A and B are shown apart, each in its own frame.
Chain A
Amino acid sequence: MISLPEPIVRVEKLTKHFPVQISFLRGFRKEQSYVHALDDADLSILKGETFSLVGETGSGKTTTGKCILRLIEPTRGAVYFDGVDIMKLDKEGMRQMRRNMQMIFQDPFASLNPRMTVGDIVGRSLENFGIAVGKKKTEIVLGLLEKVGLTPPEGLIHRYRHEFSGGQRQRIGIARAIASNPKFVVADEPVSALDMSIRAQILNLMKTLRNRLELTYLFIAHDLSVVRYMSDWVGVMYLGRIVEMARSEDLFKSPLHPYSEALLAAAVDAHSVGVRRKIAISGEIPSPIDLPPGCRFQTRCPVAKSQCSRSEPELIDVGKNHKVACFPESA
């Protein structure tokens, strides 16, 4: 019997609740309210794969990405990286672990320090992890800038963020992320803030680097066409829960959850002219504070039944590793 390879990242029951700021008058109430940004997320990513998390506002996808890297402290749950539960590491242990797990941020401008040169920004991790200093560090930084397509690097290393275009800034962000030779990179909406004609450049760069450096990506996005291009696996999130998870092609060809179906129907595409599908989903995303019992999607679901308001469906494997959190028709 062939044993399955251990996933490089495995997340168990990851949860994040944010306490709600109570207004002065309401502060006299006893109970504290919480925003359920993420509840009991389970997922695994194998080495070399690209796992995408898609969802709309409040889905919890960005929270998941930041929790996995412990840039936000999860309320509870475990995150195993190469078998080690990073939630159990102390401050210095976690800091050292960061060498292996990096992030590409959504806003290329805001994620670069306005008072630091590009060389300093990219080379920061090399110093932090004792990889290289001084001249050796500069050499590596020049190499990194070339790798991400910023040439000639010598002229750029002393410049500041406002001297670059959006696409160039994102390349700098990518160079920073790969500087410490990580195995795992979380990319948080890496092309959402970029112009259309630049997106393919960055996506192709990310693919090339993935192959060359044997990277594993957690790709967070709301644009389904980008997700289809980049991913091996996809997780669809709604109001803090993963509602469907499958191989990318399986999800796109046969989505099972009503929300996934709606998302795919709502997606507009330059390649399908004149097609705007009407979808049966009305209303808006409800408030994530003090959620009512049952399935979170019940208020907008076209096929909701009585069971849906009584209990929350679990994420169940319905074959070929395609998981859905929805009560079956027959029930």
Chain B
Amino acid sequence: METVGSESQERLQPLKQLLDNSKGFWRRYRKNRVAVIGLGIVILFFFLAVLAAQIAPYDPFVMDPGSRLQSPSVSHLMGTDLFGRDIFSRIVYGTRISLFIGFVSATISAVIGIAVGAISGYYGGKLDEVLMRAVEIFIVIPTFFLILIIVAIFGGSIWNVMAIIGLTIWPSTTRLVRAEFLSTKEKEFVTAAISVGSKDAHIILREILPNAVFPAIVNMSLQVASAILTESSLSFLGLGDPNNVSWGWLLKDALRSMRSAWWDSVFPGIFISLAVISFNVIGDGLNDALNPYLKER
């Protein structure tokens, strides 16, 4: 009689396989020093976001008129702003917002982008033509201005901003996924899947997608960077969400004091830049690490 233990062993096998493959992945990723640093920075940001309450020394909203515009000191590591609020604490809490916006936007874009790319690439024909024309329209229109206009109309709440960014930047992912689908579709193992009676949904999701999704993953990292930058710009222009203070919003608040108090704007700027650069180099690292899989096909 089979014991429960052996059956769960059997179920663990695919997981163990995944881990084995992962070891190769990390080895290749580690070769790119900069990408490792980028990943380190992002992990650091992640901790800042999660443990904000523990790390931030002050309440980010509390105003202290007595301590206005103080330059960085021991008590205020990054100085204070126009209203006496501790900038370091504001940045720590802002990490939550900025990262959240970045990831959610990129996820929305990835889901739509992969879905459209997969269907367009797999079915081809008129559907593909129509979808590709739509994609081309998005690519031709300057994305930022499109987002700007829509946010100006519908308001800059955090949910609006994430949705709008996600709904505007998916076409680049679509093109990548579609290209992969077009080439993978012709491979012999797909013909084999058809010959054993697999249905379209299975072929798209389980035969082709696991092989075609890697460029989309790399692109997603780049899109997190792009979303953070876009949101920062929107907030800087005043179109962000006053209830959810992101790094960009900090920049907006620092406008008036930019000449006199450099710390007000430089520190948020550094964080934005670090985040954007980090996600970009992570994208590079992912590309290198995933490449042997791409070659193995």
Question: Which residues of chain B have C-beta atoms less than 8 A from A173's C-beta?
Answer: 192
Question: Which residues of chain B have C-beta atoms less than 8 A from A98's C-beta?
Answer: 195-197
CA distance A160 to B199 in the complex (A): 22
Over the window 141-180 of chain A, the binary record of Cβ atoms lying under 8 Å from chain B Cβ atoms (1 yes, 0 no) is 0000000000000000011101000000000010010011
B22 at the binding interface (Cβ < 8 Å) = no
Select the residue from A66, A106, A114 with max chain B CB neighbours within 10 A: A114
CA distance A152 to B14 in the complex (A): 18
A102 lies within 8 A of B14 (CB): no
Q: How far is the CB of B222 from chain A (nearest CB, A)?
A: 24
Question: Which residues of chain B have C-beta atoms less than 8 A from A76's C-beta?
Answer: none
Question: Which residues of chain B have C-beta atoms less than 8 A from A105's C-beta?
Answer: 188, 191-192
B17 lies within 8 A of A124 (CB): no
A95 lies within 8 A of B192 (CB): no
A110 lies within 8 A of B196 (CB): no
Q: For residue B207, which residue of chain A has the nearest CB? A: A113
CA distance A160 to B210 in the complex (A): 14
CA distance A75 to B30 in the complex (A): 53
Which residues from 202 to 249 on chain B have a C-beta closer than 8 Å to any C-beta of chain A? 202, 206-207, 210-211
Question: Which residues of chain B have C-beta atoms less than 8 A from A111's C-beta?
Answer: 188-189, 191-192
Over the window 110-145 of chain A, the binary record of Cβ atoms lying under 8 Å from chain B Cβ atoms (1 yes, 0 no) is 111111110000001100110000000000000000
Which residues from 80 to 122 on chain A have a C-beta closer than 8 Å to any C-beta of chain B? 95-96, 98-99, 102-103, 105-107, 110-117
Question: Which residues of chain A have C-beta atoms less than 8 A from B193's C-beta?
Answer: 113, 124
Question: Which residues of chain A have C-beta atoms less than 8 A from B199's C-beta?
Answer: 95, 128
Q: How far is the CB of B18 from chain A (nearest CB, A)?
A: 11
Question: Which residues of chain B have C-beta atoms less than 8 A from A116's C-beta?
Answer: 206-207
A71 at the binding interface (Cβ < 8 Å) = yes
Q: For residue B206, which residue of chain A has the nearest CB? A: A116
Q: For residue B200, which residue of chain A has the nearest CB? A: A91
Q: A71-B191, A114-B296, A115-B210 are in contact. Are A176 and B196 (CB under 8 A)?
A: yes
Question: Is chain B's binding surface mostly helix, strand, loop or mixed?
Answer: helix
Chain B, interface size category, equals: 20 to 34
CA distance A36 to B187 in the complex (A): 23
Question: Which residues of chain A have C-beta atoms less than 8 A from B157's C-beta?
Answer: none
B273 at the binding interface (Cβ < 8 Å) = no
Chain A, interface size category, equals: 20 to 34
Q: For residue A99, which residue of chain B has the nearest CB? A: B197
B259 at the binding interface (Cβ < 8 Å) = no
Q: How far is the CB of B120 from chain A (nearest CB, A)?
A: 20
B17 lies within 8 A of A114 (CB): no
Question: Which residues of chain A have C-beta atoms less than 8 A from B10's C-beta?
Answer: 158
B198 at the binding interface (Cβ < 8 Å) = yes
Select the residue from B14, B189, B198 with max chain A CB neighbours within 10 A: B189
A107 lies within 8 A of B196 (CB): no
A96 lies within 8 A of B197 (CB): yes
A112 lies within 8 A of B14 (CB): no
Q: A117-B14, A158-B17, A160-B17 are in contact. Are A71 and B194 (CB under 8 A)?
A: yes
A115 lies within 8 A of B211 (CB): yes
Q: A110-B188, A114-B211, A117-B17 are in contact. Are A162 and B195 (CB under 8 A)?
A: no
Partner of A69, one of B195, B207, B297: B195
Question: Which residues of chain B have C-beta atoms less than 8 A from A102's C-beta?
Answer: 195-196
Q: A69-B195, A98-B196, A111-B191 are in contact. List 19 more A-B contacts (CB 8 A).
A: A66-B191, A71-B191, A96-B197, A105-B191, A110-B187, A112-B192, A113-B211, A115-B210, A116-B206, A117-B17, A124-B193, A124-B198, A125-B196, A128-B197, A128-B198, A158-B14, A160-B17, A180-B196, A180-B197
List residues of chain B with CB under 8 Å of any chain A CB: 10, 13-14, 17, 187-189, 191-199, 202, 206-207, 210-211, 296-297
Q: Which 3 A-B pairs have the closest CB atoms?
A: A125-B196, A128-B197, A110-B188
List residues of chain A with CB under 8 Å of any chain B CB: 66, 69, 71, 95-96, 98-99, 102-103, 105-107, 110-117, 124-125, 128-129, 158-160, 162, 173, 176, 179-180
A-B contact pairs, 13 of them (CB 8 A): A95-B197, A99-B197, A110-B188, A111-B189, A112-B189, A124-B198, A125-B196, A128-B198, A128-B199, A158-B13, A162-B296, A173-B192, A176-B192
